[in-house]
Homo-oligomer: A and B are copies of this chain.
Amino acid sequence: MTIAAAITELAGVFGDRLVRSGSDLELHGRSESYFPLTPPDAVVYPESTEEVSRLAAICNAQGCPVVAWGTGTSLEGHSLAVRGGVCVDFSRMARLLEVHQADMDAVVQPGMTREALNRELRATGLFFPVDPGANAALGGMAATRASGTTTVRYGSMADNVLGLQVVLADGRVIRTGTRARKSAAGYDLTRLFVGSEGTLGLITELTLRLHGQPEAISAAVCAFDRIGDAVDTVIATVQSGIPVARIEFVDAATAAAVNAYAGMEFPLKPHLLVEFHGSPQGVAEDAERFGELVTDMGGEGFRWSARAEDRSALWTMRHNAYYAILASRKGARAVVTDLCVPISRLAEAVEETRADIEDSGIPGPILGHVGDGNFHAVLLIEDGAAEELEVAKALSHRMVERALRLGGTVTGEHGVGLGKLGYMEAEHGAAWQVMGAMKRALDPGDILNPGKLVPPEA
Complex contacts, A414 vs chain B, CB 8 Å: 184
Asked whether any CB of chain B lies closer than 8 Å to the CB of A120, the reply is no
On chain A, the number of residues with a Cβ less than 8 Å from chain B's Cβ atoms is 94
Asked whether any CB of chain B lies closer than 8 Å to the CB of A332, the reply is no
What is the total number of copies of this protein in its complex?
A: 2
Asked whether any CB of chain B lies closer than 8 Å to the CB of A111, the reply is no
Please give me the 8 A-B residue pairs with the lowest Cβ-Cβ distance, nearest first: A102-B344, A183-B409, A441-B441, A191-B191, A174-B431, A180-B340, A103-B342, A212-B241
Smallest distance from the beta carbon of A423 to chain B beta carbons, Å?
8
As a 0/1 sequence over residues 254 to 287 of chain A, the CB contacts with chain B under 8 angstroms (1 = contact) are 0000000000000000000000011101100100
Asked whether any CB of chain B lies closer than 8 Å to the CB of A208, the reply is no
Asked whether any CB of chain B lies closer than 8 Å to the CB of A384, the reply is no
Task: Tell me which of B212, B408, B431, B454 contacts A239 (CB under 8 A).
Answer: B212
Question: Known interface pairs A156-B182, A186-B195. Does A437 touch B441 (Cβ–Cβ under 8 Å)?
Answer: yes
Q: Which residues between 234 and 265 of chain A lie within 8 Å of chain B, taking CB atoms?
A: 235, 238-241, 243
As a 0/1 sequence over residues 425 to 458 of chain A, the CB contacts with chain B under 8 angstroms (1 = contact) are 0011111101101101110000000000110000
If A184-B416, A185-B427, A188-B188 are given as contacts, then 15 extra A-B residue pairs at C-beta distance below 8 Å, sorted by A number, are: A145-B184, A168-B434, A180-B341, A180-B342, A180-B403, A180-B407, A180-B409, A187-B200, A187-B453, A188-B195, A191-B191, A212-B241, A279-B289, A281-B285, A438-B438
Asked whether any CB of chain B lies closer than 8 Å to the CB of A229, the reply is no
- Write the chain B residue with the least CB distance to A157: B184
Mark A residues whose CB is within 8 Å of B: 100, 102-105, 125, 144-147, 151, 155-156, 158-159, 168, 172-176, 178-189, 191-192, 194-196, 200, 211-212, 214-215, 235, 238-241, 243, 277-279, 281-282, 285, 289, 338, 340-344, 372-374, 403, 407-416, 420, 423-424, 427-432, 434-435, 437-438, 440-442, 453-454
